Amino acid sequence: MTVKLGIPSKGRLMEQTLAWFGDREIGLSRAGSDREYAGAVSGIDGVELILLSAGEVPRELAAGRLHLGVTGTDLVREKIPLWRTQIETVAELGFGHADLIIAVPKFWTDVETLDDLDAVAARFRADHGHRLRIATKYHRLVREHLQSAGVADYLIVDSQGATEGTVKNLTAEAIADITSTGATLEANHLKVLADGPILASQATLFASHVTPWSEAEQKTLTRIADMLGAKLPEAFI
C-alpha cells in the first residue's frame, strides 16, 4: 500500500511545496498536463501524490483519505474542531506565512485593541440598532477568539472573498481575514488591531491519525521524515 500525500493543486503554495520537497530529494511533480490533478513522485517509493485544493486537505486528513497533507494551519484549525486528536504536525515548511487578523478602518484612531472594539460595538449597537458586523470566512476561529476575550455586541457576517471591500460597501464595520504583507488592507484603508493575530499560520505538513497506517506505510513515513529532517510525532514512531 502507498502513503497518500495531498498537496495544494495550484498557485504559489503548490510551487513552493514542490520546491520544498525537491530540496529534500523528494521529487514531486504533476503528471501530464497542468490541468491534470494527479502527480508523480521520485526519490522515494511507496508514496502517491494527490493534488487538491488546500481548503480540502484538512477534511481529507480528518476523513482518513490522506495519510499526509500540506495545507495552512489556519484551514486545519477552522475546519477541524478535533484537530488536536485527529491530525498531527510533521513539519512546518517555513513559507505561506499568514496571520489571521482583525482589521478596522484606518481612520478609527480611537480603536487599537479589542478593549476599544468592544466599547465601540456597544455604542454602535445603540446608535444603529444592530450589532457591529465583522466580515470573515473564519467564523469559528473569530468567534472563539472574541468569546474568550469577552467581546460582545458583534455579529459575524459571511464573506468568502474580497473581504477587505466589505467595509467600504457598507456590509460590515470590521473584517477578520488572513494577511501576509498587509498590502490589501492598506489599499482598502484598513488597519490591523494591535493586540496580536488570532492565529499565525504557515504551510505545514500534517499526518492523519484517522487514516489507518500499515506497517509498510509506517516505514515509508519514517523514511520520509528522515529525508525531510523532521522529527516524527511520538504516535507515529
Give the interface with another protein as residue ranges (CB under 8 A): 81-82, 85, 105-112, 115-116, 118-120, 122-124, 127-128, 131, 139-140, 143-144, 146-156, 167-168, 170, 172-173, 189
Which CB sits closer to another protein, 123 or 219?
A: 123
Does residue 231 contact residue 89 with C-beta atoms inside 8 Å? no
Q: Residue 38 Cβ, how far from another protein at the closest point, in Å?
A: 34
Cell numbers describing residue 216:
509498510
Which CB sits closer to another protein, 113 or 214?
A: 113
Q: Residue 100 Cβ, how far from another protein at the closest point, in Å?
A: 17
Which CB sits closer to another protein, 33 or 160?
A: 160
Scored b (16 or more CB within 10 A) or e, 164-193 reads bbbbeeeebbbbbbbbeeeebbeebebbbb
Residue at grid coordinates 467564523: 139
C-alpha dist (Å) from residue 70 to 34, 49, 120, 216: 19, 11, 39, 21
Q: Residue 184 Cβ, how far from another protein at the closest point, in Å?
A: 14
Return phi, psi of residue 98, to 5°: -160, 145
Residue at grid coordinates 460597501: 169
Residue at grid coordinates 520537497: 21
Which CB sits closer to another protein, 43 or 64?
A: 64
Does residue 150 contact residue 127 with C-beta atoms inside 8 Å? no
Which CB sits closer to another protein, 9 or 136?
A: 136
Which CB sits closer to another protein, 122 or 227?
A: 122
Q: Residue 150 Cβ, how far from another protein at the closest point, in Å?
A: 3
Q: Where are the alpha helices (DSSP H) in the chain?
A: 11-23, 57-62, 73-79, 83-86, 114-128, 139-148, 183-187, 215-228
Q: Residue 187 Cβ, how far from another protein at the closest point, in Å?
A: 12
**Can you spell out the DSSP letters for 62-113?**
HTTS-SEEEEEHHHHHHH-TTHHHHEEEEEE-S-S-EEEEEEEETT-TT--S
Q: Residue 88 Cβ, how far from another protein at the closest point, in Å?
A: 16
Q: What is the identity of the amino acid at 101?
A: I
Which CB sits closer to another protein, 42 or 147?
A: 147
Cell numbers describing residue 122:
456597544
Q: Residue 118 Cβ, how far from another protein at the closest point, in Å?
A: 7
